[in-house]
Structure 1
Amino acid sequence: MKQLVVSCPPEYYDSMLCPLLGPLFNYMLQRLNQRWQIINQRSTDSGEEDEACEENQVTQEMLEEQLVRLVTREVLDLLTHACILKKVPEPAGIKENGDGAEEEMMSTDSQAVTAGPAQATGELTELGKCLVKHEEIYMTLLTISFTCLSWKDTSNCHRTASMVCWTLLRQVVSGNLLPDAVSWFFTSVLKGLQMHGQHEVCNSTLTQLAMFIYDNLRPRYVELRAVMAQIPEVNLETLNQYDQRLLHPNTISKLGEKKRRDTFKKLLVGTVGKALGQQFKKEVHIRNLPSLFKKSKPEKRDILETSESGTLAALFSPTQADI
């Protein structure tokens, strides 16, 4: 399918690719969503299998998860090539013919896709513009892009959040979106932070995506304010100040971009989940630890006892030397 998308002439986008890609992405969204729900539930459900079947079951689950992850990356790679316009530098030293050259080209292309937002221009391809015109296909692309943010795949989350989500959503930002749809888009990003926020790269990308959505849609949709207020341990006073600057364009220009980003990041701290290695860690609290070395008590000495120069009374006794 990727080769078909790359090689198809533009005059056949409407007649061939749109009727083909629309049902394909819809079908893959349903299948992948079902599989990822099963994978996410495995971390919370406790199996009741006996020990003899446990090792075989774990091996099978790991194989299934790896296959689902690979298929997910292929689907998102196809979506990215079909919709997102990228600036990829030409790889050096690759010949035009030969199987080895083709594999090297595919490897280089894959690395460019996972490189991050620097490779994306934020614009749609000609095929992407054609797909967006069909509302059903466009909604499927938006749904699969924002749903995959909460799937347990950090690489896919980072790539999709940095290259796909905002590029697709910005096409309808100025339109009349339903309030429930706006809340769902924003909540999907917060779910991604809860799943992958402990990774600094994903945290930065998802926070930037959440800020783009909030800054552009908050003035027209008060529902986003209600979603932010539900974040655990959110500072409502800071949120109110951010909203006031956002709703009054004359004051928001006085606030630096870095300071705005840091302020918004602090508001989302409550959504960031713990890493897997920290989720089941038992906190140790030891109070009133005994002293390692016992302090010796100073000996009590009588001031009237004999000292180096004699008794205390002898100090006041006149001697021949004092006369």
Structure 2
Amino acid sequence: MFRNRLGIMLIRMCQKGAIPGNAFDQTLKLTTTLTQQFPSQQCDRESPLYLEWDGFVSVMESWTNVMKSDSELRDLLREKAVSLARLVLNYDPGDALVLCCVLRCMNSGLLWVVDIDPQLLLQPYLQKIFSCVESLGKVESKTRKVMAAQNIAMQCFIKLCSQFGSLLLPYLPQLYEQYETAVKQDIISYSMRASFIEGFVILNLLRPDLEQQRVFLRQLMQDASTVLRELQRCGALSSLEGLVRYLGIHTSPEDPAFCPDHRAQLCYVGHVVSVVLKNSVLPSNRQPGQPLPASPEQHPSYQLTVPLLTQFVLPVIQLLHELWSGKAKHLTSSYFQHLYQLSIAEKEIIRGKVLSYSASQPGQGEGTSQMQNTLVSTLEVCLQCVANSFSVFGCQHMLDIGFVDACLKTIFPSTAGLDCWKMRGVIRGVTLPLVKLCPPEMWQSVLLPFLLQCCHTVFTKLRQSWEEIEENKTSAGVSAEQIEGIMYGAGDEGEISQEVIDEQFAIVLSRDYASLIEAVCMTKKQVEGEKGGEGGGEKCDSGEVEEEMEEVKEGGAGWRGSGIRDKWMSSHEIAPLASHLLSSGGAMCELLFISVFSGLSWGDTRCAHTFTNIAGLIIMKVSTGLLPVPVIGKLFEQVLVALQKHGIHEGNRTALTSLAQLMYETMVSSLRTPLST
């Protein structure tokens, strides 16, 4: 972070001081020095050469930010920038960790140089990527550093295809031929194959003929179709027991029948379907003469992906939900007995740490952690496939072919036994994207069934989780010092550690759920002079909070009468979807109220702030007569519970107090009789 800030400061100083050429001369000199150094032994994250390259990447990323908005400076430094890019592209450190820095520089620090002269630099860029793929693919020991370098190389390839697609399209046959050669030599993993396919799909979409696109897509997905037929033949998609046996979870890596490629193949099919769907949305900047399918069935990817949605995507989602729910524990061997626990990566994320490239993982290669990571990735991409299919083929068509009903019968019923961490997928992967893309005319038939099932499932889980967390805190008497020590490594990994991690998972799911309800209920008001972007529930404007606090302390003249309503509506307004739900009533309207007012007292101040904003908007929108007096009393009671929980925080206390006042003034006509509690 320090090196990154230092690089930005350096570039800004050069901009202000009218000496950018001198600064770039120093950058070029540094590049020359770095590309003449080679590690004498394997590097780690403390090695001087790695640290120097890591800092150099930050400097080049800073130059990228400058060049985006300064075309004159870009023209001025044209020759020097090309020379610098050539030095980096010709450098082969012979160490995977340093190579990660070189590839990061290519991916985020040098693409502006390619944009200066793509005809000159595109070919060397591609040659560098393919040479890295070939050299890393021949390394026998696939360490974390090697896999990280491969992933960055693939990111760079995809970004090239996205930014320079029209220039690369004529070379698509040659690129695909090189890819096929690498596949035949077995030097690229299944995840890398999926990344190559994503780049090819991006280029293929630029072809002027729909039939050509369709033929090439069929060629790209041939391997995935072969793997799917094998999965069906083995019964891996028809039952949980079949999936367990296909993956080898019932045995161990020492068993000759165990095949580590099986888990990779399962993930590979999911990734291929995902990247094809994700990149099948017709580009908004289509060139004149580019084709436009007359119907979803005529889309080049339709015949190839829609059958896989029902034959692969939905069965895998259901089976993996059941697997993570623990329904296959009796089939699991002792070697994989920890499969259903948190992975090392998940624990480190919760503790706020990042796994280093050189970190050692138990069971590297065929271990439990590798199986966990692969299956989690598979579930994520399959959930994304569901939302992407609606985006590409339209909500009406997916409803007509019965895909909506199939999803409702498959996705949510199988989540009952999931923990909070893994339940986030149904929000992030399916429901939240659907809220954003579903047109109003399809709300009733498509969106609301998804929304009702998702909210009911997640809210039930969260209510149960927070009740258990509060009970555990009361009975265990865990001190703040103990929690801090456990979270940051000062304590052991015993029972208390698991309780703390469970609470963090509940917080993460609560925030995702709050984001979903926020997307349903709130839209950002475009106010003149307003700063910031979307997500009013995610961050609290300290200036607004201080202003509100002052008004409350001084007697709150601005919060009386209609002033409090105007204040509440100053930055956000009720979303059309929420207006529809509140005016229609029914189960989703009731669940919306329960979620918002119950969420006020969950153990996370950010969620409390988000739900407070939402509560004020829906209270002002809903008809007073819709809420009986006892219900209003219960809502007030929830606000008081939240004040007791979060009142120690000034921002939350001010907002909750304002909410209580707003509720009273809005519903005063219904409060002629005493509240029934």
Please state which band the TM-score falls in when normalised by the shorter chain.
0.5 to 0.7
State the distance in 1 between where 2:569 and 2:668 align: 28
Establish whether residue 42 from structure 1 lines up as the match of residue 467 from structure 2. Answer: no
State the 1:112 CA deviation.
6.7
SS of 1:44's partner is: helix
**Inter-partner Cα distance in structure 2 for 1:13 and 1:190:** 34
Q: Counterpart of 2:661?
A: 211
Counterpart-to-counterpart distance in 2, 1:123 and 1:202: 20
Which residue in 1 is equivalent to 2:521? Answer: 83
Please give the per-residue CA displacement for 1:130-188, whole angstroms capped at 9, x wherever unaligned. Answer: 22214210110010000011111111101210x20021222334324222101000010
Are 1:5 and 2:435 matched, yes or no?
Answer: yes
1:156 matches 2:607? yes
1:71 aligns with 2:509: yes
SS across alignment from 1:152: coil
Query: Are positions 1:138 and 2:568 aligned together?
Result: no
Aligned residue for 1:85, secondary structure, equals strand
Q: CA deviation at 1:214?
A: 1.7
1:59 equivalent to 2:488? Answer no
| Matches of 1:127 and 1:217, distance apart in 2 | 23
Residues 92-138 of structure 1: per-residue CA shift (max 9 Å, x gap): xxxxxxxxxxxxxxx96457732358897553222222222142101
How far the C-alpha of 1:46 sits from its partner, in A, is 3.3
Q: Summarize the Cα distance change of 1:87–1:113 in structure 2 as closer, same or farther, 3 Å threshold.
A: farther
Instruction: Map 1:271-290; keep pairs closer than 5 Å.
Output: none
Pick aligned residue for 2:455 from 10, 25, 28: 25
Give the equivalent residue in structure 2 for 1:113: 538
- The answer for unaligned runs of 5 or more in structure 1 is 48-52, 90-106, 228-323
Tell me the SS of whatever aligns to 1:198: coil
Alpha-carbon separation, structure 2, partners of 1:142 and 1:113: 20
2: distance between equivalents of 1:24 and 1:123? 24
Alpha-carbon distance change, 55 to 112 in structure 1, aligned in 2, over 3 angstroms: closer
Give 1:59 deviation, angstroms.
Answer: 1.0
Q: Give the residue type in structure 2 aligned to 1:86.
A: K
Q: What's the secondary structure of 1:123's corresponding residue?
A: strand
Tell me, yes or no, if the aligned pair for 1:146 and 1:165 is still in contact at 8 Å. yes
Deviations 1:56-88 (A, max 9, x none): 111111111111111111111011112212136
Change in CA separation of 1:112 and 1:46 when aligned onto 2, cut-off 3 Å: closer
**Which of 651, 655, 672 is matched with 1:201 structurally?**
651
Decide whether the 8 Å contact of 1:82 with 1:125 is kept in 2.
yes
Rounded to whole Å, the distance in 2 between the matches of 1:190 and 1:43 is 21
Larger helix proportion of the pair: 2
Q: Which runs of 5+ in 2 are unaligned?
A: 1-430, 478-490, 542-566
Q: SS where residue 471 of structure 2 aligns?
A: helix
User: What pairs with 1:246-265 in structure 2 (closer than 5 Å)?
Assistant: none
State the one-letter code of the partner of 1:144: S
Structure 1 residues 12-59: Cα deviation after superposition (integer angstroms, max 9, x where no partner): 112100111012112211111000011112221138xxxxx9851111
* SS of residue in 1 equivalent to 2:625: coil
Please say if residues 525 and 572 of structure 2, whose CA atoms lie closer than 8 Å, have aligned partners that are also in contact.
no
SS at match of 2:523: strand
> Percent of counterpart pairs with the same letter?
26
Q: Judge conservation of contact 1:214–1:224 (CA < 8 Å) in 2.
A: no
What is the alpha-carbon distance in structure 1 between the residues aligned to residue 594 and residue 610 of structure 2? 16
The residue identity in structure 1 corresponding to 2:445 is S
SS at match of 1:137: helix
Q: What is the alpha-carbon distance in structure 2 between the residues aligned to residue 223 and residue 46 of structure 1? A: 43
Contact 2:526-2:571 at 8 Å conserved across structures: no
Aligned-partner residue type, residue 186 of structure 1: F
Superimposed CA distance per residue, residues 218-270 of structure 1 (whole angstroms, 9 cap, x where no aligned partner): 4432456687xxxxxxxxxxxxxxxxxxxxxxxxxxxxxxxxxxxxxxxxxxx
Larger Rg: 1
Q: Distance in 1 between matches of 2:640 and 2:441?
A: 40
Mapped to 2, the partners of 1:134 and 1:79 lie a distance apart of 16
Aligned length in residues: 206
**Structural mapping, 1:236-255, within 5 Å:** none
Distance 1:160 1:55 in 2: 34
Which of structure 1's runs of 4+ aligned residues deviate more than 4 A?
107-112, 116-122, 222-227
- Note the alpha carbon deviations across 1:199-224, whole angstroms, 9 max, x for none: 10001000000011122324432456
Equivalent in the alignment of 1:284 = none
Pick one of 190, 194, 204 that aligns with 2:640. Answer: 190
CA contact (8 A) 1:73 1:156 kept: yes
- Aligned runs of 1:90-101 on 2, under 5 Å? none
Q: Which amino acid aligns with 1:68?
A: A
Secondary structure at 1:140 match in 2: helix
Distance 1:220 1:126, change over 3 A: closer
Q: Which moved more, 1:15-24 or 1:125-134?
A: 125-134
